[in-house]
Amino acid sequence: MKQKIFIRDLLDLPGDIDLRLTALTGEIGLDKEIEVADVNRPGLTLSGFYDFFASDRIQIFGKGENAYLDSLSSADAEKSLAKFFEYDVFCCVFTHNVFPSKMFIDLARKKNIPVMVTELNTTQFISQVTHIVEEAQAPVVSIHGTLADVYGFGCLIMGKSGVGKSETALELIERGHRLVADDIVEIKRIEDSMLVGQGSPIIKHHIEIRGLGIINVREVFGIRSVRNSKRIEIIVTLEEWDSNKSYDRLGIDEKHFSILGIDVPHIVIPVRPGRNIPVIVETAALNQRLKKMGVHSARELDKRLQDWMKMESNRNG
């Protein structure tokens, strides 16, 4: 599922980012959906070259465009802008807090095209708006599981209802790790290369423990026990021990689990009374970190064994 973002959303963004935008054309066109994250600098277009004019993107009027429009006589500027607005222009943003001429606003208003001004400079605005739109449009999926930050490594714990995901999370919190989300994890694919998970806004940082009910982790364990979002770097599936199934004893081959088309290292941990699952999850996270740094425990032991066997056979032969 993909999410939508509208021009109106840019004016009032949740979180820390503020584009410092003001709409100059009132409510006009604010409900248009932003479909492409790319922007366009219409310098060439204004000077009369209309091939490849990407009118469906946000048009950025920076210092260059403004200087060009200022250099024209008012008749020439009107001619240039009249041609410009013949196209179905998506919206115009003026950077550096430079306000467009009244003629510009009147022409845009006639065609129902929103015009905005930002206090940011052109580079800042372009990089931030691209980032915001890309993130808003990132494909999202919601998964039944628990996400925790274990030694700085995003660990997604999956498994059937009642297998002990929440209890594992509780023990991880108690051991100093952080909870991101319990039960429902909203996962976003960002820049086609990584998965970032967070909790649903309503039940954020709450956890349900059979017998206790709903616990507010942030209030009970304090601010150090939670975080808002985390990149998912390992997936751990808990399942009830099945004596007919053979479990990985070596860990030489890496298995993966695919979410939104991205493969994440995956391990399956059989649950049985007496197995300390949180410690196993911790160790899995540490081992995965080690692998990422180029140390592969199982493969290295195997290599040592093979070297030793070679030596032995040379001695005997």
Partner 1 sequence: MVEKEFVVQSDAGIHARPASMLVKLAMGFPCEVFIEKDGVEANAKSIMGVLSLAITQGSKLIIRAVGEKEEEACTQLLELFKSDFK
Q: Which is nearer to partner 1, 162 or 176 (CB)?
A: 162
Q: Which is nearer to partner 1, 182 or 233 (CB)?
A: 182
Is 189 in the active site? Answer: no
The Cα-based distances of 190 to 14, 132, 139, 196 in angstroms read 18, 11, 8, 7
Q: Which is nearer to partner 1, 114 or 159 (CB)?
A: 159
142 lies in the site for partner 1, by CB under 8 A:
yes
| Nearest distance from C-beta of residue 183 to partner 1, angstroms | 4
Pattern 154-183, partner 1, x by CB under 8 A = -------xx-------------------xx
List, in order, residues 6 or more apart from 299 with CB less than 8 Å away: 252
**Sheet containing 58-61, strands listed edge to edge, beginning at the edge strand earlier in sequence:** 21-23, 115-118, 91-94, 58-61, 39-40
220 lies in the site for partner 1, by CB under 8 A:
no
Catalytic residue among 183, 188, 205, 230: 183
| Nearest distance from C-beta of residue 152 to partner 1, angstroms | 25
CA nearest 20: which of 107, 129, 157, 114? 129
Task: List the interface residues with partner 1, window 93-132 (CB under 8 A).
Answer: none
- 187 exposure class (CB count in 10 Å sphere: 0-12, 13-18, 19+): buried
Take residue 122 and report the two structure tokens written for it.
């052109």
282 lies in the site for partner 1, by CB under 8 A:
no
58/42 Cα distance (integer angstroms): 10
Select from 177, 206, 227, 230 the one that contacts partner 1 (CB under 8 A).
206
Residue 316 CB neighbour total at 10 angstroms: 6
144 lies in the site for partner 1, by CB under 8 A:
yes
CA nearest 158: which of 81, 50, 268, 251? 268
H runs (alpha helix) in 3-120: 7-11, 43-46, 63-71, 74-84, 102-110
217 lies in the site for partner 1, by CB under 8 A:
no
Rounded to whole angstroms, the maximal C-alpha distance in the chain is 98
307 lies in the site for partner 1, by CB under 8 A:
no
202 lies in the site for partner 1, by CB under 8 A:
yes
Q: Which is nearer to partner 1, 18 or 208 (CB)?
A: 208
249/10 Cα distance (integer angstroms): 52
200 lies in the site for partner 1, by CB under 8 A:
yes
272/2 Cα distance (integer angstroms): 39
Is 144 in the active site? Answer: yes
Stretch that binds partner 1, among 169-177, 203-211, 244-252, 264-272 (CB under 8 A): 203-211
Catalytic residue among 4, 63, 79, 144: 144
Select from 1, 75, 223, 293 the one that contacts partner 1 (CB under 8 A).
1
203 lies in the site for partner 1, by CB under 8 A:
yes
75/148 Cα distance (integer angstroms): 63
Would you name the residues annotated as active-site residues? 144, 165, 183, 249
Residues making contact with partner 1 (CB under 8 A): 1, 142, 144, 161-162, 182-184, 200, 202-203, 206-208, 214
